[in-house]
Structure 1
Amino acid sequence: MSSRGNPPPARRDARRNRERLLECARRAFADHGAQAALDGIAREAGLVVGTLYRHFPTRLDLLYAVLEPKLRHVVNEVEAALGLEDPWEAFRGLLEVLCAAQAGDRAFGDFLARRFPGDDRTDAVHSEICALAQRVLGRAQAAGVVRPDVTGADLFLLLWASSRVAEATRHVAPSMWRRHVYLALDGFRASNRLDLREPAWDTDQLYRAMAEPGKVFHGEEPLRRAGEAP
């Protein structure tokens, strides 16, 4: 019988198993994105995939457990950017926080691309980040430091582009995405702006792009059994 205040061995084992699964999943999702092979995660943790299934009934349960601490950190950082006195610095800080969060973390990039439809947890955090970003953008435009024709969809397109730059250069120059972001930031400035010959996307067009094949993540699928293709 376990001593008072100490969990029984089975519970301690379960907690250790969960922590190992999260550690291995964090690496796998960062390297391979939201569709990382789940049986590989279990194998790296030294466990069978059935144990993974008991702790995380769906892929999205595991993915959210991995991303949730980083998501809360990003929300806090975006809120801090919103609190900056200089509207331009707040705008620059917003984009740098979001692009830095996804650099080297393909799963977080997948989250920003909204590959997790139909889940209240991810929808709530995603909506919170979008609302904060819109406030930062609106404040910068009201101050006259960001061009008035920039939209939230334009910010998403920059995030997608920055994600590809970070992915393509990570083994040679892992910080090159910052140069790309700063070049893009210069294009957002209100002064000396060029006319944009392509209209901005509306919300419907943006969501349709997010739902293209290869971008949609079906998070409620049951975890695959060992030996099945990822």
Structure 2
Amino acid sequence: MGDHLHQFLRSDAKDNRDRILEVAREVFATDGLGVSMREVARRAGVGPATLYRRFPTKKDLVVEAFMDEFGRCREIVRTGFDDADPWRGFCYVLTELSELQSENQGFTEAFLAEYPDVVDVRSHRTEMVGEFADLVRRAKAQGDLRTDFVVADLILFLTANRGLASTPPENRLFAARRFSALMIDAARKSPTHQALPRHLKR
């Protein structure tokens, strides 16, 4: 009985933590980082004591929420990278990143503006970009991805995807899926495609 109770308490604590972080990401994305800890606790349905026990300071909560968000990005890229079918993995990455970004518009930018030196974002991004670059190479070799697609096009895609912030919240997920479908179709190799503009060195 003791072991079962201990396991239940651990599971309940994890559920509370996950719920707090999910709410924190949503609240910080929509209302900014100035939202109070008490407001986060209220929206998460937990008491302030529970919130402070897991996250003693506001900074602790914001950093953990960001790392959780970044971890989801890394997991998306890793899942696509591990797919035996590189084109399917490529499509998965674009679709899932678009949907994830549409959920929490503005949170990453707000975090980096407020805490620019807390997390070594560059090293994390370097690893993700490396995996995505290999996925791009394999999808091209497979013959499904247009040969003039470059890794920087993913950044272009995500930058454009941020424009979904102006879409009403209830329509963002649909818009993200539609936008990623359009981008995937544009990235698919086709004899009718015009060549993409090339960067010109000055």
Matched letter for residue 42 of structure 1? M
* Cα distance in 1 for residues equivalent to 2:124 and 2:74: 8
Residues 1:109 and 1:21: Cα distance change in structure 2 (over 3 Å): closer
Q: How many residues align?
A: 173
Partner of 2:56: 55
Q: What displacement does 1:66 show?
A: 0.6
Structure 1 range deviating more: 115-124 or 183-192? 115-124
The RMSD of aligned alpha carbons is 3.5
Deviations 1:91-128 (CA, angstroms, capped at 9, x unpaired) = 101111211211121245538xx766544443333222
Conserved 8 A contact 2:78-2:131:
yes
Q: Is the 8 A contact 1:104 1:166 kept in 2?
A: no
Structure with the largest fraction of helix: 2
What residue number does 1:92 align with?
91
Q: CA deviation at 1:162?
A: 1.9
Task: Determine the structure 1 residue equivalent to 2:37.
Answer: 42
1:82/1:132 contact within 8 Å kept: yes
Unmatched segments (≥5 aa) in structure 2: 1-12, 43-47
CA contact 1:166–1:177 (8 Å) conserved in 2: no
Q: Give 5+ residue unaligned stretches, structure 1.
A: 1-14, 203-230
The percentage of counterpart residues that share the same residue type is 25
When residues 121 and 109 of structure 1 are mapped into structure 2, their CA distance, relative to the original with a 3 A threshold, is closer
Q: Aligned partners of 1:92 and 1:24: how far apart in 2?
A: 28
- In structure 2, give the amino acid aligned to 1:194: Q
Q: Distance in 2 between matches of 1:82 and 1:21?
A: 30
CA shift in 2, pair 1:176/1:62, >3 Å = same
Higher-RCO chain (CA-CA 8 Å, sequence separation at least 6): 1
Name the counterpart of 2:64: 65
Spell out, residue by residue over 1:8-53, the C-alpha distance to the aligned partner (whole angstroms, 9 max, x if none): xxxxxxx9xxx69756633321324xxx142x32352477xxx8xx
Contact 2:99 2:173 in 1 (8 A): no
TM normalised by structure 1 equals 0.60
Task: Please tell me the residue identity of whatever aligns with 2:187.
Answer: F
Confirm or deny: 8 A CA contact 2:30 2:104 kept in the other structure: yes
Q: Deviations over 1:115-168 (max 9, x none)?
A: 665444433332222222222112112223212221222111111212312541
Give the 3 Å change call, closer, same or farther, for CA 152–68 of structure 1 in structure 2.
same
- Please name the residue that 1:76 is paired with: 75
Show CA shifts across 1:196-225 (max 9, x none).
Answer: 23x2499xxxxxxxxxxxxxxxxxxxxxxx
Matched, 1:196 2:183: no
CA distance in 2, matches of 1:146, 1:69: 31
